[in-house]
Amino acid sequence: MARIPVMKPSLRTARTFIAPIVRGDAAARSVKPTLDFYGSAAWKKVRLEVQRACGRTCQGCGKADTRIYVDHIVELRDGGAPLDRGNLIGLCAVCHGKKTARERAKREAQHA
Ligand SMILES: [Zn+2]
């Protein structure tokens, strides 16, 4: 009997990506080349600095007392500086989601 695929928690999906990278699998790196960066101590440090500077206030819409996602203004895949505070902005979940979708749409339009 075939198993019906059900929606799994996203954490499990993330782990399947991380495990091969820890082993140094080149193919996995090409799938998600920035993943190593987001696990780095340097990124965690600068992310915390930006979050502290924001004081839990979104730099996009001004929403206060919210979880802050530290976003690259010019995305890494577009050549943005990874650890430059000038290229980082603290956004709420809504603003971060909108920006990510906008960047993706722009990229897809360029490659269409
Ligand atoms: Zn916002």
Q: What is the pLDDT of residues 37-48, one digit of tens each?
A: 999 999 999 999
Taking the centre of ligand 1 as the mean of its atom positions, its distance from the CA of residue 2, in whole angstroms, is 43
Q: Which fold has domain 40-110?
A: DNA Binding (I), subunit A (1.10.30)
Q: Which two tokens stand for residue 68?
A: 């802050």
Domain coordinates in residue numbering, the chain: 40-110
Is residue 99 over pLDDT 80?
yes
Taking the centre of ligand 1 as the mean of its atom positions, its distance from the CA of residue 51, in whole angstroms, is 13
Taking the centre of ligand 1 as the mean of its atom positions, its distance from the CA of residue 64, in whole angstroms, is 9
Q: H helices then E strands: how many in the chain? A: 5, 2
**Residues whose CB is under 5 A from ligand 1 (ion)?**
58, 60-61, 63, 92, 95
Which pTM value belongs to this model?
0.66
What is the mean predicted confidence (pLDDT) over 47-66? 96
Taking the centre of ligand 1 as the mean of its atom positions, its distance from the CA of residue 72, in whole angstroms, is 15
Q: How sure is the predictor about 59, in pLDDT bands with cuts at 50, 70 and 90?
A: very high
Is residue 29 over pLDDT 60?
no
Instruction: Return d(Cα 90, Cα 96) in angstroms, integer.
Output: 9
What is the mean predicted confidence (pLDDT) over 61-81? 94
Q: Which residues of 92-107 are buried (b: 16+ CB within 10 A; e: fewer)?
A: beebbeebeeebeeee
